[in-house]
Structure 1
Amino acid sequence: MNSRLSEKEGLASLMLRLRGEGISDRTLILAAEQTPRSLFAPPAYSDLAYSGRTLPLDCGEYMEGADLSLRMLHLLGLGAGQRVLEIGTGSGFTAAVMARIADRVVTIDRYRTLSQLAGQKFEHLGLKNVVAQVGNGLDKDAVDGTFDRILVTAAFDSMPRMFVEKLVSRGVMITAIGPAEEPQMLVRLTKTGSRFEREDLFPVRFQPLLGTAAAVL
């Protein structure tokens, strides 16, 4: 998007679509309005930043459509004072939006290129409470401490039970579960005691979560 007007038009269209889906969380909407999505979209696709299309990123990764990104954040139930872990930094857009709501956001990606680019954009926006780091998303000990919310923009083959201990009591995790070659199910997992309560949400198609940091990229 080359003009301020087109940025506003794209955002307005997105907001109308979200309201049509019943998403009217003012805190989330304000955070999205304050985070220019075109800054995070690849330059060749900046005019599609607010569309529902998946956009290609460096390292063979992609940026989820605007509708899906904000729908997942709505389902996550973000709030002030929370610590949030994101696995799969991608463009950095969702982490930036979360940082405007939560107290602290840690976002991990296996690709150094994506992590560094996201970090530069966080700095450009003056976001001091979000940290981008390179790591193995399957390693529950890649970051210290526990979190109120965990967002995973990739798919597990099966229930990620090893992440139960990374959530506080009644903490929430949003992720996809299912084989890589088929549509997966986006699920909301709520910690109860030492286990998860599972709520199936809707089908998605995410890349599988890989268990190593990229050696080169």
Structure 2
Amino acid sequence: MNARLGEKEGFAGLVLRLRAEGINDIDLLTAVEQTPRTQFVPSQYAASAYSSRTIPIECGAFMEGVDLAVRIIDRLKLKSGHRILEVGTGSGFTAAVMARLVERVLTIDRYRTLTTEAQKRFDQLGLRNIIVRHADGSAGLQGDGTFDRILVTNAFPSMPRFYAEQLVSGGSMIAPLLVGEDRCQMARLTKVGSRFETEILFDAPYLPIVPRLSSYL
């Protein structure tokens, strides 16, 4: 099977699974289709690119299964004029999909290797509305204004309110929360005026946030 056919078959299977979950957003599915996932996974895992399994990547990090990645983006309820902050670039797949749906994505990661490789992938796909930054996301991000949506892909012991303060009124943030030694849950926090409303969404296999920039990778 050639790579292009495998990509199409993998995407078709994903669509069937997502529709079974009630995810039918045509714009979102089109954005995923236009973002070849095999370009984001290590070559030895290409056959698993469209599976629900987690995939190891550089620096000891991992990619969430594609079903989970798309489910999270769906829960963000993105709109074309939105500005997005992503904490945890990883392979860059999630940022690339979101960039096809919104005005701008700012994505940060503590590992220079990950940000460098992600930038190469964005350039190859012609995605010019993504800003990639090598930065420590463990204590918030200052000086970049406010965002309509924030996505955090490393787990905190409690909802990181320092990010919530960077939301516009009516904006929302999705982040994994540690609820035990080996369990975390995705939660959505929505800013309503000066208040914040929190909703637990579903379990997710994310690693705890690590402070400070990586010294070597």
Q: TM-score, normalised by structure 1?
A: 0.96
Counting only pairs closer than 5 Å after superposition, residues 109-188 of structure 1 correspond to structure 2 as 109-142=109-142, 144-178=144-178, 181-188=181-188
CA distance in 2, matches of 1:179, 1:200: 11
Corresponding residue for residue 17 of structure 1: 17
Corresponding residue for residue 59 of structure 1: 59
Tell me if the contact between 1:110 and 1:137 (Cα under 8 Å) persists in the aligned partners: yes
Corresponding residue for residue 85 of structure 1: 85
Q: What is the number of equivalent residue pairs in this alignment?
A: 217
Q: Can you list the C-alpha shifts for 1:140-166, whole angstroms capped at 9, x where unaligned?
A: 235511100001111111121112221
Tell me if the contact between 1:165 and 1:194 (Cα under 8 Å) persists in the aligned partners: no
CA distance in 2, matches of 1:180, 1:11: 34
What is the deviation of 1:18? 0.3
The one-letter code of the counterpart of 2:93 is: F
Q: TM-score, normalised by structure 2?
A: 0.96
Tell whether 2:44 aligns with 1:32. Answer: no
Corresponding residue for residue 102 of structure 2: 102
Q: Can you list the C-alpha shifts for 1:18-69, whole angstroms capped at 9, x where unaligned?
A: 0000000111001001000000011110111000010000100001100000
Corresponding residue for residue 5 of structure 1: 5
The one-letter code of the counterpart of 2:161 is: R
CA distance in 2, matches of 1:53, 1:159: 26
Structure 2 residue runs of 5 or longer lacking an equivalent are none
Identity of aligned residues (%): 53
| SS of alignment partner, residue 8 of structure 1 | helix
Tell me if the contact between 1:184 and 1:204 (Cα under 8 Å) persists in the aligned partners: yes
What is the deviation of 1:108? 0.5
The one-letter code of the counterpart of 2:202 is: F
Tell me if the contact between 2:141 and 2:163 (Cα under 8 Å) persists in the aligned partners: no
| SS of alignment partner, residue 165 of structure 2 | helix
Q: Cα RMSD over matched residues? A: 1.3
What is the deviation of 1:192? 1.7
CA distance in 2, matches of 1:187, 1:87: 15
Corresponding residue for residue 75 of structure 1: 75
Q: Can you list the C-alpha shifts for 1:65-122, whole angstroms capped at 9, x where unaligned?
A: 0000000000011110100000000010000000000000000011000000000000
Tell whether 2:49 aligns with 1:49. Answer: yes
Tell me if the contact between 1:161 and 1:196 (Cα under 8 Å) persists in the aligned partners: no
Structure 1 residue runs of 5 or longer lacking an equivalent are none
